[in-house]
Amino acid sequence: MLIINKLLPSHITSVKCHKLDTGINSLIGSDTLFSALCNVALIAGKKTIIEALCKGEIIISSIFPAFKDKFFLPKPILFYETNLATRKKFKNINYLESQDFATLKNYFNQDSLKVEKDFFPTNSQITIHKYDTAQVAIDILQNGSLPFWEDYLIFSEKEKEAVYFLAEVPEKLLSDWQIVVRLLAHEGIGGNRTTGHGIFKEAHFYTAGIKNGHSELFINLSLVIPQREERQFLKSYTLAKRGGGFVYQMGGREIIKPFIFTLAEGSVFSPKIKGQIIDLKPFLKELPNPVFFNGLCLSVPLGGLLWRGDELN
């Protein structure tokens, strides 16, 4: 069952990351969301959710904007033949409102992977306020320091700004899933949660679906690590560099995570790909337990219309 998970935040920050961590076509990547969900599922005692996430029985997207009850999807990585007069304005559009995303297929040339210059997403001109601040982490064990940046996203309650992510959830796990996501809203996600950042007011759940999309071309709504045999299916894509943060497990010290390249959201492929979850333990041998990176693919047909169904209790 495809579920829209809508979260209403007051403040939200991304995870602490280096400036090299670029190319993400979402507010928060699916890898970060995956870790946060596993953490709160453990707190809630819902190990069935952790097992389902790790086995791929539950697949999640990254987090995207949901402004004024409109849901936004990543702009597909294609060549856009925009008019010179609108080129700069079009370049600043990172997300397509669901109706604009559906309209895209009427202007798309499958052979050249080009979008005709007549296409302009009139409903997708939104502004997301963001600022960066520099910080320094002190490592007393290594007798050194490590600079990093914190990214802050500011949301307006007046504009009914929110965020959402999609999830494929088996119906038998739906009740536990809602408990975990509601706890995530209270626990928060990202940095500086102790000062009120990343805390959500409430969570809402809706049934969802995609209709009338392209029958052969798909885009990913999550960060994806394709399996070796799936690489040949990529048509147009951008790589996102993830990692560089820290991993900590009880009884040990913080260890820097290795960098991993994934497919950024909005990459185009045919046919569907599954992706994979990889174990980082071979690169983090000092840790006692495995560390998983979520590279599973939640995809939608190119130009499909995302529709919201009934709200779930």
Q: Are 154 and 170 in contact (CB under 8 A)?
A: no
Q: What is the pTM of this model?
A: 0.85
**pLDDT (tens digit per residue) in 101-111:** 999 988 988 88
Say if 117 falls within a structural domain: yes
Say if 107 falls within a structural domain: yes
- Residue 35 Rama label (left phi>0; alpha psi -120 to 50; beta): alpha
The angle formed by the CA atoms of residues 243, 237 and 261, to the nearest 5 degrees, is 20
Of residues 232 and 9, more confidence is placed in 232
Say if 313 falls within a structural domain: no
**pLDDT (tens digit per residue) in 62-84:** 999 998 889 999 999 999 888 77
263 in helix, strand or coil? Answer: strand
Q: Are 268 and 236 in contact (CB under 8 A)?
A: yes
Q: Is 130 exposed, middle or buried (0-12, 13-18, 19+ CB in 10 A)?
A: exposed
**Domain coverage including residue 263:** 2-308
**pLDDT (tens digit per residue) in 225-236:** 999 999 999 999
Number of other residues whose CB lies within 10 A of the CB of residue 172: 12
Position 3, amino acid: I
Domains of the chain: total: 1
